[in-house]
Amino acid sequence: MSVVTLGLIQGTTFTSQAESLARHDVLIRDAAAKGAQIICLQEMFNIPYFCTRQDPALFDLAETIPGPTTNHMGALAKELGVVIIASLFEKRGPGLYHNTAAIIDADGSYLGKYRKMHIPQDPGFEEKFYFTPGDLGYRVWDTRFGKIGVLICWDQWYPEAARLTALAGAQILFYPTAIGWLSSEKAEVGKAQHCAWETVQRGHAVANGCFVASVNRTGGQDDTEFWGQSFVANPYGELVAKGSIEHEEVVVVTCDLQEVEDFRRIWPFFRDRRIDTYAPLTKRYLDE
């Protein structure tokens, strides 16, 4: 099918996993009632963004994938006939954890998972303490409603990740996200930080001739104020939908996937790539 409706769930933080899951059930149903066919939740949607500090006890928040939440989402996806992208804190094994997104098709089947490849370490984002870098590569899933790729938050800043996912056939790149301002920085550089975040992702849409859907949190956690503003950009990088800063909401937007083919015909960036010259990209830095 050519036309698909996306649902971006811009949620907030709740006091318990059970409360969060119950609320997101309501939001998913709302998105489906509004016509959404592919529904994407924010990064680690069913728990607080706990990476603001280092605390070994917080590993207890993790779960297996597949596991209880993916089973729950599978039943919901089947009931509503929608694709669900659920970002979770994955327990892979003893002392081994990932930041992972599970992809569930519209018949309720679990298609697979993507493990976040790029792991940040900054004040308020202590992710290297918790997450092992992904090892599943950049993946694409042929869902009932289109071919999608999923990347997670810090992956947003890396054109290589977007390129490789698009080259694998993705028509839409989804980015479950938890990003915001630190209170000490907001006044001075907050506006510039948000501009950079949105601009780089809109650039991925243009460079790869695809849709980009970025789904961010709202609300706050410790010293971090999540800036919301979930959005969808078309292959020209134009914003076709955008959420607010401070409100929990469901952003629903219809996209015509024929635009991907049409754009790539007139701006054939994939055709003109000089793949014979790109070997140095595998180097950390070109200082030798």
Crossing angle for the helix pair 159-167 and 191-208, to the nearest 10 degrees: 30
Judge contact between 62 and 94, C-beta under 8 A.
no
DSSP class of residue 7 equals E
Residue at 198: amino acid letter: E
Report the 10 Å Cβ neighbour count for 29: 16
| Catalytically annotated residue among 43, 90, 198, 225 | 43
d(CA 63, CA 90): 5
Number of DSSP helices (H) and strands (E) in the chain, helices first: 5, 15
**Virtual torsion, Cα 60, 49, 210, 36, nearest 10 deg:** 80
| Catalytically annotated residue among 116, 127, 198, 210 | 116
CA 42 to chain centre: 7
d(CA 47, CA 219): 13
Please confirm, yes or no, whether 238 is among the known catalytic residues: no
| Catalytically annotated residue among 40, 51, 153, 255 | 153
Please confirm, yes or no, whether 153 is among the known catalytic residues: yes
From first CA to last CA, the distance across the chain in angstroms is 49
Residues serving a catalytic function are: 43, 116, 153
